[in-house]
């Protein structure tokens, strides 16, 4: 028979497995946490949403410094109304390791709960401002599609940090495991070989985002019409800046891949008369 002391010990172990960390939810992308993941420490320009590092509609959008085991890993601009990220940004320094068996996590502060960041999604949280793991259950069309890819993370803890629902969107299984995976692999190989800085180290800056669609998963989570990714870096060997962009449709069959310049991707994302700028004030070629 299990004693009360054993029950208490078991409860404490379960609490420790949640891995609490200091929360990093902000109202701009000018913080020290955010800028470390951005080229030239400048946030992307997202017309009508994020301009000069300032979030224009703070009741709807928020900046999340994605923190795991008390280490800041990457940054996300999150749309609380659509319950998907606008984009996630990361400083790439190489990739290694394998995909971890990490449970899906949520951002507790967005749920109005205790002051922790990523927690395992195994509690009865109020998911008013974000997707819940349960939103993806009971269907066979959509994956929990990473924006910052688990495959491009450097350490195992970086990989675990990507497994938060504030870094995911509903992505069709065929697309996520097909052409989008090919794009992620291609980006990883390109940055590993081409992004060599003046210190002879791998360094590139990656921004991956989603275009909101017209439908919702479980009547809760916006299903993007497209996913996109762009990276920029300096190549010391050839003494030049390199930038590439990719976009893929998010449909069940006939997923279409596009290899683009930054200018072409910006044109597809920008409302008339505006400009989506992924790497402001940089020398990235358009």
Could you tell me the residue ranges of all domains in the chain? 17-269
The CA distance from 146 to 194, in Å, is 24
Give the helix/strand (H/E) hosting 90: strand 84-92
The CA distance from 83 to 132, in Å, is 9
By the 8 A CB rule, do 10 and 3 touch?
Answer: no
pLDDT at 8: 37
Note the pLDDT tens digit of each residue in 37-88.
999 999 999 999 999 999 999 899 999 999 888 888 999 999 999 999 999 9
Show the CA angle centred on residue 156, arms to residues 149 and 152, nearest 5°: 25
Fold of 17-269: Extracellular Endonuclease; Chain A (3.40.570)
DSSP state of 33: H
Note the pLDDT tens digit of each residue in 158-187.
899 898 999 999 999 999 999 999 999 999
Rounded to two decimals, what is the model's pTM? 0.86
pLDDT at 118: 53
pLDDT at 128: 66
Mean of the per-residue pLDDT values of the chain: 85
pLDDT at 120: 57
Output the CA–CA distances (angstroms, integers) from residue 83 to 72, 80, 200, in the order listed: 22, 5, 40
pLDDT at 25: 77
Q: Which of 149, 141, 150, 208 lies closest to 175, judged by CA?
A: 141
What are the mean pLDDT values of the chain's consecutive 10-residue runs (286 residues total)?
Answer: 40 37 69 90 94 92 90 93 95 78 77 51 59 89 92 88 92 93 93 93 95 94 96 94 96 91 96 93 94
């Amino acid at each position: 028979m299990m004693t009360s002391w054993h029950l208490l010990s078991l409860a404490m172990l379960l609490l420790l497995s949640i891995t609490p960390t200091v929360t990093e939810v902000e109202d701009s992308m000018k913080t020290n946490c955010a800028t470390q993941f951005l080229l030239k420490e400048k946030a992307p320009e997202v017309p009508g949403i994020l301009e000069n590092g300032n979030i224009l509609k703070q009741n709807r959008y928020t900046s999340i410094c994605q923190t795991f085991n008390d280490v800041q890993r990457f940054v996300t601009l999150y749309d609380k109304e659509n319950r998907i990220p606008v984009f996630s940004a990361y400083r790439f320094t190489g990739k290694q390791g394998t995909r971890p068996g990490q449970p899906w996590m949520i951002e507790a502060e967005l749920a109005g709960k205790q002051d922790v960041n990523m927690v395992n999604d195994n509690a009865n949280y109020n998911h008013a401002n974000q997707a819940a793991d349960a939103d993806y259950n009971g269907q066979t069309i959509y994956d929990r599609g990473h924006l910052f890819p688990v495959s491009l993370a450097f350490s195992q803890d970086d990989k675990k940090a990507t497994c938060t629902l504030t870094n995911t969107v509903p992505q069709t299984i065929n697309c996520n495991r097909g052409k989008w995976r090919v794009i992620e692999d291609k980006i990883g190989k390109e940055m590993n070989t081409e992004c060599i800085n003046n210190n002879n180290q791998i360094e590139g800056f990656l921004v991956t985002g989603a275009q909101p669609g017209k439908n919702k998963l479980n009547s809760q989570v916006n299903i993007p019409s497209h996913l996109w990714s762009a990276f920029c870096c300096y190549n010391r060997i050839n003494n030049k800046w390199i930038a590439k962009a990719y976009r893929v449709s998010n449909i069940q069959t006939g997923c279409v891949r596009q290899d683009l310049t930054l200018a072409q991707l910006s044109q597809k994302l920008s409302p008339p008369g505006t400009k989506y700028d992924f790497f402001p004030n940089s020398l990235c070629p358009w």
